Amino acid sequence: MLSLIEKAETGHELNREELLCLLSDASNLQEITAAADRVRHEYVGDEVHLRGLIEFSNICKNNCCYCGLRRDNTEIHRYRLDEDTIFKLAEYAVTQMGLKTIVLQSGEDMWFNSQRMCALIGRIKTLDAALTLSVGEKSAEEYLAYKQAGCDRFLLRIETTDKILYKRHDPGMSWKRRRECLNDIRRSGMEVGSGCLVGLPGQTLESLADDILFFKQINADMVGIGPFIPHPDTPLRNAEKGNFDLSLKVMALTRLLLPDINIPATTAMETLASNGQTKALQSGANVIMPNVTLNECRKYYELYPGKSVTNCSSDKSLAKLRAKISSIGRSVATDKGFRKRQNNLQIETLSVIMPSNKN
Interacting residue ranges for ligand SF4, rule: CB under 6 A: 60, 62, 64, 67, 69-70, 107-108, 136
CB of 161 to ligand SF4, least distance (A): 16
* Of the candidates 111, 32, 127, 118, the residue with the CA atom closest to the CA atom of residue 78: 111
Q: Which is nearer to ligand SF4, 160 or 283 (CB)?
A: 160
CB of 241 to ligand SF4, least distance (A): 17
- Name the phi and psi angles at 177, rounded to 5: -65, -45
Distance CA 120, CA 299 (A): 24
CB of 354 to ligand SF4, least distance (A): 21
Distance CA 159, CA 157 (A): 5
- Name the phi and psi angles at 225, rounded to 5: -120, 125
Residues 6+ away with beta carbon under 8 Å from 213 = 16, 19, 257, 354
Q: Which is nearer to ligand SF4, 33 or 106 (CB)?
A: 106
CB of 301 to ligand SF4, least distance (A): 9
Q: Which is nearer to ligand SF4, 5 or 64 (CB)?
A: 64
Q: Which is nearer to ligand SF4, 67 or 268 (CB)?
A: 67
Start-end of H helices in 96-229: 114-124, 140-149, 163-169, 175-188, 205-217
> 86: how many CB neighbours lie within 10 A of its CB?
23
Yes or no: say if 134 and 154 are a contact pair by the CB < 8 Å rule: yes
Coil, strand or helix: which one is 294? coil
Distance CA 296, CA 238 (A): 28
Yes or no: say if 86 and 127 are a contact pair by the CB < 8 Å rule: no
* Of the candidates 130, 55, 151, the residue with the CA atom closest to the CA atom of residue 333: 130
CB of 68 to ligand SF4, least distance (A): 7
Q: Which is nearer to ligand SF4, 259 or 264 (CB)?
A: 264
Residues for the chain: how many in total? 359
Q: Which is nearer to ligand SF4, 109 or 152 (CB)?
A: 109
Q: Which is nearer to ligand SF4, 65 or 121 (CB)?
A: 65
Q: Which is nearer to ligand SF4, 33 or 63 (CB)?
A: 63
CB of 268 to ligand SF4, least distance (A): 12
Distance CA 288, CA 136 (A): 21
Pair type for strands 153-155 and 130-134: parallel
CB of 3 to ligand SF4, least distance (A): 39
Please, what is the Cα angle at 348 between 343 and 351, to 5 degrees? 120
Q: Which is nearer to ligand SF4, 157 or 186 (CB)?
A: 157
CB of 267 to ligand SF4, least distance (A): 14
Q: Which is nearer to ligand SF4, 64 or 198 (CB)?
A: 64
Residues 6+ away with beta carbon under 8 Å from 261 = 44, 220, 221, 222, 223, 254, 255, 339
CB of 171 to ligand SF4, least distance (A): 10
CB of 9 to ligand SF4, least distance (A): 33
Torsion angle defined by CA atoms of residues 27, 33, 36 and 37, in that order, rounded to the nearest 10 degrees = -150
